[in-house]
Homo-oligomer: A and B are copies of this chain.
């Protein structure tokens, strides 16, 4: 069955990006410390062609994020595709080079129309100007029996939660207190989740939640 899922690295105080996000530092001050655990894994080093290190639970998680077994389509916010705002600079084709790692349709939320962008390796970026519900519908149709992945950022995840359309939220809880920044779960209303899988590692706790969607008491 097709479900809508997403991965997010999150601080203990609920931030998925640090304060003072900018063109130069899109994940904000201290935000990179939310992702450091990924770079220290065998899976990441393999993807970068670096010498191997031992496999760990974190490495298996990174493998699952980078190569989800059942991803039929992705949704991402404009800002995750393009650091600029406003009208499109058509020469910008994303951060990922000619062969992006998605190998599937990617629906980019934006206020500015743009023709689909066909890349190598099966990735096509579609630009959706009529909101998250439309993007979810289009991604669902494109994915068929496979899953729809919300690639990010936090605002797109929140829109999906508010639309009552997120089925699975996989949080990678990094044991730092950032103190400021962008909070993943602010403004989504009262929600009830259920933990499905918990993976503990020395540096991060990975909890896969099913979103139960009903309001908390």
Contact = CB atoms under 8 A, between A and B. Distances in A.
Given A209-B175, A217-B33, A195 B191 contact: no
A188 B180 CA distance: 11
A216 interface: yes
A175 B214 CA distance: 12
A133 interface: no
Nearest to A161: B177
Contacts of A179: 187-190
Interface string A23-45: 00000001011000000000000
Nearest to A32: B217
A194 B216 CA distance: 30
Interface residues of A, number: 36
Contact of A177 (B178, B189, B195, B207): B189
A16 to B, nearest CB: 12
A89 B112 CA distance: 65
A95 to B, nearest CB: 23
A192 interface: yes
A209 B13 CA distance: 13
Contact of A216 (B14, B178, B200, B207): B178
A209 B205 CA distance: 11
A202 to B, nearest CB: 7
A198 interface: yes
Contact of A194 (B177, B190, B202): B202
A163 interface: no
A33 B176 contact: no
Interface of A: 12-14, 30, 32-33, 171, 173, 175-179, 183, 185-195, 198, 200-205, 207, 209, 216-217
